[in-house]
């Protein structure tokens, strides 16, 4: 390139000298020398530019080569980094699975410990509950029913529904007579003979209650009449017969009084009972002809001491009673056939149907509107088709049961 440039310079000089008219100073050697020097400076500048360009090209080539090498290394590093990242992700995933497994084992241990704790607490609660029940039913009574042997019709009235009884916790000979399934009049007779013979003096005392009862499940216990308050679903009234005033009242829990307690007693929604352990309430559970619920009541405070869901159903039932803490339910299929006890429930689990003979009542044509046990006399007071009846019982000690 330099040689070509130099040739061009000489040609330019020759051209200028040949064809251009000579300036005034053309013949001046100093001017020619000056022009020549300027061309030399120009040539030197062009030479430096050429050298710089070549250096730049060389540097650019080296830079390109270095960039290519660096890019190759980057690709290698990228692949290595990608492999490392993938490996790290695999290790993290594996560690996460191990953590999840350890967490599962820990939760499983906690669940096992929780289940064991719940089981232990349940066993403790059941033991305490059993202890409470045994303490609640601690009366010196271990008899179970073995037969209904005799029948005595004490009196016959016109009413198909009603109840009659003595005070189950008193030595008094007084007899109380309650006619109908909805009433507020109680007749008090001095003794059983006065009750049997209307002409016997003294005449019965007429007690007008401030509230009316519903059904035939009333009982008299320690001078108080306990009855289901008419117009309410579950209110029990404690009535002081001597003061002729309401002493206290309570509301049975658990949906009591929403349905008939016995299918063949169409007016009774709550049946009260008394035995050697005190005061009880019997009612039907939820649903039509549901299972009977047995509730122990503290008669002083009218507090619920305990409740049991029994296996006995209200379907085909007509009455029930308790003897020594055991519930006996009287059934009559479709209102026909003999009256018999086919369901027995013992909260202590000692007595059941397998230990008992067939328990039949002496033949009666109609259903019982009430059957109540008198623990002092060990006999049943019943009402059947207007007849006031006493049944004698045959019992046997529970201790004889294996």
53 and 160 belong to one structural domain: no
Least confident of 118-122, 179-183, 222-226, 309-313: 118-122
Residue with tokens 């830079």: 63
Residue 176 in domain: yes
Same domain, 261 and 366: yes
Q: In this structure, are 35 and 125 located in the same domain? A: yes
pLDDT range class, residue 4, cuts 50, 70, 90: very low
Kindly state the average pLDDT of the residues 253-273: 92
In 3D, which of 142, 381, 130, 135 has the Cα closest to residue 276? 142
Q: Is residue 85 part of a domain?
A: yes
- Whether omega before 202 lies within 30 degrees of 0, making that bond cis, reads yes
pLDDT of residue 289: 75
In a domain, 341, yes or no: yes
- Kindly state the average pLDDT of the residues 337-348: 90
- Range picked from 33-37, 76-80, 333-337 for highest mean pLDDT: 33-37
* Residues 274, 353 within the same domain: yes
Question: Is 150 in the same domain as 287?
Answer: yes
The DSSP-derived string for 174-240 is -EEEEESSEEEEEEEESSHHHHH-TTSSSPPEEEEEEEEEESS--EEETTEEEEEBTT-SSEEEEEE
Taking residues 263-267, report their average pLDDT.
Answer: 91
**Mean pLDDT within 291-307:** 95
- Looking at the structure, do residues 218 and 238 belong to the same domain, yes or no? yes
The residue among 95, 116, 134 that closes a domain is 134
- Model confidence at 139: pLDDT above 70: no
Report if residue 165 sits inside a domain.
yes
pLDDT reported for residue 111:
65
8 A C-beta contact, residue 323 and residue 353: no
Range in 106-115, 235-244, 265-274 with the lowest mean pLDDT: 106-115
Per the model's pLDDT, the better-predicted residue between 170 and 338 turns out to be: 170
User: Is 168 found in the same domain as 71?
Assistant: no
Instruction: Provide the residue range defining the domain that includes 11.
Output: 2-16+30-134
Higher pLDDT, residue 69 or 125? 69
pLDDT band at 27 (very low <50, low <70, confident <90, very high): low
Residues 86 and 229 in one domain: no
Helical H runs in 137-161? none
Q: How far separated are the first and last CA of the chain, in Å rounded?
A: 132
Residue 248 lies in a domain: yes
Note whether residue 24 is domain-resident: no
Q: What is the total count of domains within the chain?
A: 2
Same domain, 7 and 114: yes
pLDDT at 8 over 60: no
CA–CA separation, 332 and 342 (whole Å): 10
For residue 22, being part of any structural domain is answered with no
- CATH number, domain at 150? 2.120.10
pLDDT at 345 over 60: yes
Specify the higher pLDDT residue, 317 or 142: 317
CA-to-CA distance for 87 and 96, rounded, in angstroms? 14
pLDDT digits (tens, 9 = 90+) for 95-133: 787 787 777 777 766 666 667 778 777 777 766 777 777
Whether 236 and 308 map to the same domain: the answer is yes
Indicate whether 59 pLDDT > 50. Answer: yes
Last residue of a domain, one of 117, 134, 151: 134
Share of the chain above pLDDT 90, in %: 47
Q: How confident is the model at residue 81 (pLDDT cuts 50, 70, 90)?
A: confident
Question: Is residue 194 scored above 80 in pLDDT?
Answer: yes
pLDDT score of 2 = 45
Model pLDDT, residue 190: 93
pLDDT exceeds cutoff 90 at 53: no
Whether residues 157 and 290 share a domain: the answer is yes
Classify burial at 296, counting beta carbons within 10 Å of its beta carbon; exposed 0-12, middle 13-18, buried 19 or more. buried
pLDDT band at 5 (very low <50, low <70, confident <90, very high): very low
Say yes or no: 12 and 81 in one domain. Answer: yes
Of 129 and 93, the structure prediction assigns the larger pLDDT to 93
Comparison of pLDDT for 113 and 136, the residue scoring more: 136
pLDDT-derived band of residue 68, with 50, 70 and 90 as boundaries? confident
| pLDDT score of 399 | 58
């Amino acid at each position: 390139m330099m040689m070509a440039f130099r040739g061009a310079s000489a040609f330019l000089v020759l051209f200028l000298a040949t064809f251009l008219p000579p300036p005034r100073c053309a013949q001046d050697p100093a001017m020619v020398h000056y022009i020549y020097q300027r061309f030399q400076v120009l040539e030197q500048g062009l030479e430096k530019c050429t050298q710089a360009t070549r250096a730049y090209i060389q540097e650019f080539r080296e830079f390109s080569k270095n960039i290519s090498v660096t890019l190759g290394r980057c690709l290698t590093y990228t692949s290595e980094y990608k492999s490392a990242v993938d490996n790290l992700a695999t290790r993290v995933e594996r560690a996460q699975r191990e953590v999840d497994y350890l967490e599962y084992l820990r939760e499983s241990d906690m669940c096992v410990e929780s289940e064991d704790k719940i089981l232990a607490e349940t066993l403790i609660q059941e033991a305490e509950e059993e202890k409470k029940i045994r303490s609640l039913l601690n009366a010196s009574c271990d008899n179970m029913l073995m037969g209904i042997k005799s029948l005595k019709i004490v009196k016959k009235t016109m009413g198909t529904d009603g109840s009659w009884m003595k005070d189950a916790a008193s030595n008094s000979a007084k007899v109380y007579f309650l006619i109908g399934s909805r009433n507020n009049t109680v007749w008090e007779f001095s003794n059983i003979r006065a009750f049997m013979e209307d002409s016997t003096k003294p005449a019965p005392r007429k007690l007008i209650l401030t509230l009316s009862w519903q059904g035939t499940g009333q009982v008299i216990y320690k001078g108080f009449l306990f009855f289901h308050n008419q117009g309410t679903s579950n209110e029990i009234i404690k009535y002081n017969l001597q003061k002729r005033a309401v002493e206290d009242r309570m509301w049975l829990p658990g949906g009591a009084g929403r349905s008939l307690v016995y299918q063949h007693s169409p007016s009774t929604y709550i049946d009260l009972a008394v035995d050697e352990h005190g005061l009880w309430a019997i009612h039907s559970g939820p649903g039509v002809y549901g299972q009977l619920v047995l509730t122990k009541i503290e008669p002083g405070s009218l507090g619920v001491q305990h409740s049991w869901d029994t296996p006995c159903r209200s379907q085909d039932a007509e009455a029930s009673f308790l003897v020594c803490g055991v519930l006996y339910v009287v059934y009559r299929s479709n209102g026909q056939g003999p009256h018999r006890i086919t369901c027995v429930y013992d909260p202590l689990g000692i007595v059941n149907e397998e230990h008992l003979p067939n328990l039949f009542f002496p033949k009666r044509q109609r259903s019982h509107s009430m059957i109540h046990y008198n623990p002092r006399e060990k006999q049943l007071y019943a009402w059947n088709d207007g007849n006031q009846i006493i049944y004698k019982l045959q019992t046997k000690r529970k201790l004889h049961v294996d």
